[in-house]
Amino acid sequence: MAKRAGLAIMFVMLAVVLVLSYSPQIESAANAIDQANWQGYPIPPCFIDAKMCAGHVLGTDENGRDMLVRLVAAVRLSLGVPLLAAILELIFSLAFGILARREGLFAKFITMRLVDALSCFPAWPFILVVTVFASSGQRASLAPAVIAAITALLFSHPVTQEVAASRNVRDAGRVALNASSRDWVRILLLIATLDYFGFGIQPPTPSWGNMLANMQSQMTIAWWVAAFPAACLFGAALAIEVTRRRFLA
Amino acid sequence: MRWRAALLGLVTTAIAVVLIVLAVLCIPGLSYLAAFPHIFTGKVIGPILERLPYTLELIGVSFLVASVLAFGCVQFSIRTLKPLATFLAVVLRCVPFFWLAMVLQLVFAILGGFQAGKTSGSDRFDLVDHLRYLAGASGALTLFQLPSLIEYFNKRLAVCAKGRNNFAASILSGLAVQFAENLPDVITATIITELVFAWPGVGRLLYSGDGNLSASLPTGILLFLALLVLAVRFVTEAFARSPDEGASDG
């Protein structure tokens, strides 16, 4: 009972954060440049320099945009797309797994070979090539939902195997839920990596991954530009992983 | 019988892999299918084979180091502080790998004297430089492989403690199975490491080849990497005995 309540609280908190990140005020403020105080270099956070920070609690990025607002606005896509991918993975692997459990060698054999073949592709280069092909060589990105669907297909192999081997449909559902939640962290970090290398969500739309795009040049000048989005990624991944281990594993 | 099943699985999965690659090639247009035969010409396969030893070197060195570290970490934590290894595995699993690699690259640049513009594989690159770059790049990749190996050794030691299986006998085959299962993720991490550390492997070739849309090069790399994973899985399935199989037998 306590486990279920804890899990419910976790999901309610996640829903609140996601809804907050969708608010129009946050969305418009995320790309607003502080024209009055920004002088071409990142403004430091208030705990470093209270006089210089000009009300930007976590400072600004290299373009003078508030870090805190951008971090909150980035929740929508940084957590939402991996969540969608995990849900799609759950659906795909349940469908593949149930198909593989059916009588008849053909359905089982074909399904498992297809899932086996998909699992042989390294996810990041696969999405990179699909993105480049889909955008005709331009550095554009696929729609987040398409990235989520491709990732879900590529990661569905172990879950499908577990579902196919489970004793009944109820067991299969529980196994698939656990495995999909396990992959949520993997997908979260994979999609952040895509964003970082410029193949995922495109600026100025904020995501924790693309906020780190200039971190190599900024790290020694303005460490907060490289630290806070990474801390958000790490914190979200850790929260999901710990919750899974505590409530689902 | 086991061999025949594995072989049948290999052939049919390879056909499915080729079909998926063909489907990817169709994304820009059906005319791009004409690029598929070019994958097997020297212009595409040549550079891939030239760069492959660098990628395999990186994967091999980091896997060996990570295996030794993970085993030591699990043994140490069992004797001293039990949850330490699990904690380390969870934390490392949650750190964004590209960020970790970037930070390590910066640290190596300061401590190890990495020079901008000088990449491994260039003419002015001697053995010492090569080893220095290898240490940096494989260090990052080691940290990526560590969590799954720690979890593997944790599980193995628990099985061993229950007396259900002989740890020493199953360790190599178990590691091989673990390696084969994780290989696609390890390849992804290797490509990221190659980009960050300017390591001249297949990943750098993929990244440099994507911009001008020479369709056969990225598709060829994708096909080659998938077939590599398939071959490794086939070998482990055919030769290595799964430790769980051994446990159930015992």
Whether A192 contacts chain B with CB within 8 A: yes
pLDDT at B250 (0 to 100): 32
Which of the two residues, A182 and B208, has the higher pLDDT score? Answer: A182
Instruction: List the one residue out of A114, A97, A108, A157 whose CA is nearest residue B16.
Output: A114
* Residue matched to tokens 């090539």: A129
A129/B226 touch (CB, cutoff 8 Å), yes or no: no
pLDDT at B225 (0 to 100): 93
Task: List Cβ neighbours of B45 (8 Å cut-off, separation of 6 or more).
Answer: B39, B220, B224
What torsion do the CA atoms of A147, A152, A155, A156 make, to the nearest 10 degrees? -160
Residues of A in contact with B98 (CB under 8 A): 192-193, 196-197, 212
Evaluate whether A228 touches A169 at the Cβ level (below 8 Å). no
pLDDT tens-digit series, residues A90-111: 888 888 888 887 766 677 788 8
B28/A215 touch (CB, cutoff 8 Å), yes or no: no
pLDDT at B248 (0 to 100): 41
Mean pLDDT throughout A233-241? Answer: 90
Q: What radius of gyration, in Å, describes the C-alpha atoms of chain A?
A: 21
Question: What percentage of chain B has pLDDT greater than the value 70?
Answer: 81
User: Considering the entire predicted model, what is its pTM?
Assistant: 0.86
Whether A246 contacts chain B with CB within 8 A: no
Q: Which of A116, A136, A216 sits opposite B102 (nearest CB)?
A: A216
Whether A124 contacts chain B with CB within 8 A: yes
How far is A42 from A44, CA to CA, in rounded Å?
A: 6
How far is B174 from B169, CA to CA, in rounded Å?
A: 9
Q: Which of A121, A185, A196 sits opposite B226 (nearest CB)?
A: A121
Alpha helices in B198-241 (DSSP H): 202-210, 216-239
Ramachandran bin of B246, using left for φ above 0, alpha for ψ from -120 to 50, beta for the remaining angles: alpha
How far is A3 from A14, CA to CA, in rounded Å?
A: 17
List Cα–Cα distances, A223 to A212, A220, B211, in angstroms: 11, 6, 31
* Residue matched to tokens 């904020």: A206
A118's tokens:
């998909």
Evaluate whether B14 touches B230 at the Cβ level (below 8 Å). yes
pLDDT at B247 (0 to 100): 43
Which of the two residues, A216 and B115, has the higher pLDDT score? Answer: A216
Taking CA–CA distances from A236, the nearest residue in chain B reads B94
What torsion do the CA atoms of A119, A124, A126, A131 make, to the nearest 10 degrees? 150
Instruction: List the one residue out of A80, A99, A94 whose CA is nearest residue A207.
Output: A80
Instruction: For residue A66, list its beta bridge partners.
Output: A60
ipTM value of the model? 0.85
**3-state SS, residue B130:** helix
Residue spans of chain B under pLDDT 70? 1-2, 78-82, 112-125, 160-169, 209-213, 241-250
- For domain A2-22+70-247, the question of CATH label 1.20.1250.20 is answered with no
Least confident of A82-86, A132-136, A184-188: A132-136
B94/A216 touch (CB, cutoff 8 Å), yes or no: no
pLDDT at B249 (0 to 100): 39
B96/A133 touch (CB, cutoff 8 Å), yes or no: no
In the chain, the amino acid numbered B193 is T
How far is B57 from A13, CA to CA, in rounded Å?
A: 45
How far is A199 from A142, CA to CA, in rounded Å?
A: 8
B98/A132 touch (CB, cutoff 8 Å), yes or no: no
Q: Which of B17, B212, B221 sits opposite A125 (nearest CB)?
A: B221
Whether A234 contacts chain B with CB within 8 A: yes
Q: Which of B12, B15, B191 sits opposite A124 (nearest CB)?
A: B191
How far is A179 from A173, CA to CA, in rounded Å?
A: 10
Taking CA–CA distances from B5, the nearest residue in chain A reads A109
pLDDT above 70 for A25:
yes
In the chain, the amino acid numbered A104 is G
Alpha helices in chain A (DSSP H): 2-21, 24-30, 67-101, 105-119, 123-134, 144-154, 157-165, 169-196, 215-218, 223-243
Which of the two residues, A191 and B166, has the higher pLDDT score? Answer: A191
Mean pLDDT throughout A213-232? Answer: 84
pLDDT at B190 (0 to 100): 93
DSSP string, A104-156: SHHHHHHHHHHHHHHHTS-HHHHHHHHHHHHTTTSS----HHHHHHHHHHHT-
Residues of B in contact with A233 (CB under 8 A): 96, 99
Instruction: For residue A60, list its beta bridge partners.
Output: A66
A226/B90 touch (CB, cutoff 8 Å), yes or no: no
Whether A219 contacts chain B with CB within 8 A: yes
DSSP A86: H
